Homo-oligomer: A and B are copies of this chain.
């Protein structure tokens, strides 16, 4: 029973997913756990990882005794931060091997199977990543204060900015500004109080409203989504200029925003070969091959 197993983990801020394949690549099981952005408390992150991992093993009829023949690869939000990785790995691990990289890297690995290409992740934040000739390139993704163009947070925040402009009479009101102000009891003071406490994910909750109005040709909605698409195109275009032949889109806002991207960029978009979990499995396999 010494056949190797490979487990891929996709670790994010709200949940952790795991997928188990055997040495032949046969799917054996999947599992899920809690938050696992590795900037979080290491005990919490390990609890999430092991929960997801045990659930995947359980689905395969396997258990605790099989951990030591399981090679794990993890793509995780926060893994670009060396200190967070070191903190996470400062304990004995039950696995045959363990390797961690950024969630962007495992998404790219899954999408292109290790070949040249770029990905654009668009959710609450936004980030571009590509690998060309073995060289990694990160573009954008520096956080919502001065980066993350085209993200849900950026779209929501700009929409609220324009809502205040409309209230001031600086631009015409539109159904979008009316809808957004109504969410704050038509009281800009309440809106500003809310802004004082808002996190990126709070702003991002308004992105679907903006998208809905853009689809219905609300002039402000169209302007905001066009701006977002322009910001995303700037990130993606840089990755293509760096030599990435094609681009895959990821994240909750990728599909709704895709039709708004400029036509030249549309032509570079391809479907990913596999997802980030299979990318994490590839990461585990490459790690074993290197060792």
- A residues adjacent to B (C-beta < 8 A): 138-140, 142-143, 145-147, 157, 160-161, 164-165, 168-170, 188, 192, 195-196, 198, 234-235, 238, 241-242
Contacts and interface: CB of A to CB of B under 8 A. Distances in A.
B168 A157 contact: no
A164 B147 contact: yes
A110 B257 CA distance: 50
Contacts of A161: 146-147
B170 A238 contact: yes
Per CB-CB distance, the 3 closest pairs between chain A and chain B, nearest first, are A146-B161, A139-B168, A170-B238
Nearest to A145: B195
Assembly stoichiometry (copies): 2
A142 to B, nearest CB: 5
Given A146-B160, A169-B242, 7 more contacts: A139-B169, A143-B192, A143-B196, A145-B157, A146-B164, A169-B238, A169-B241
Contacts of A138: 168
Contacts of A198: 145
A195 B142 CA distance: 10
Contacts of A241: 169
B157 A234 contact: no
B234 A142 contact: no
19 contacts: A139-B168, A139-B170, A140-B168, A142-B192, A143-B195, A145-B157, A145-B195, A145-B198, A146-B157, A146-B160, A146-B192, A146-B195, A147-B161, A147-B164, A168-B235, A169-B238, A169-B241, A169-B242, A170-B235
Nearest to A81: B189
A242 B241 CA distance: 48
Contacts of A147: 161, 164
